[in-house]
Amino acid sequence: MPRSRPGRQRSRGTIDELPSGALRVRVYAGTDPVTGRRRDLVELIPAGPKAGRLAEAARTRLLNQVDEQRQPRTNATVNQLLDQHFELSTWERSTRET
């Protein structure tokens, strides 16, 4: 059974300060089922006196989207999805060509 330290929990998502002073909020959203690549939800918060609070609110909002699975599950283009669909289809050759 894994040990856990009370009061110490790994935070989900990151808030990074950019050279411009703006804050970048990044939350891991799983792997893309089509491309197999890592997916992150990202939001930029402009620099300002309330940037820290706005960034925390954005991180919470993005985490809720991930938890409720409200984000798109793939970053694949329509063309990539259609190519995959046509490869898996069992249509006759004449139908596929038209």
- pLDDT tens track for 48-87: 999 999 999 999 999 888 888 766 666 667 787 777 777 7
pLDDT tens by residue, 14-36: 999 999 999 999 998 888 777 78
- Please enumerate in sequence order all residues whose Cβ is within 8 A of that of 56, keeping only pairs 6 or more positions apart, or say none: 15
As given in the structure block, the two tokens for residue 92 are: 């006759």
Domain regions of the chain by residue span: 14-97
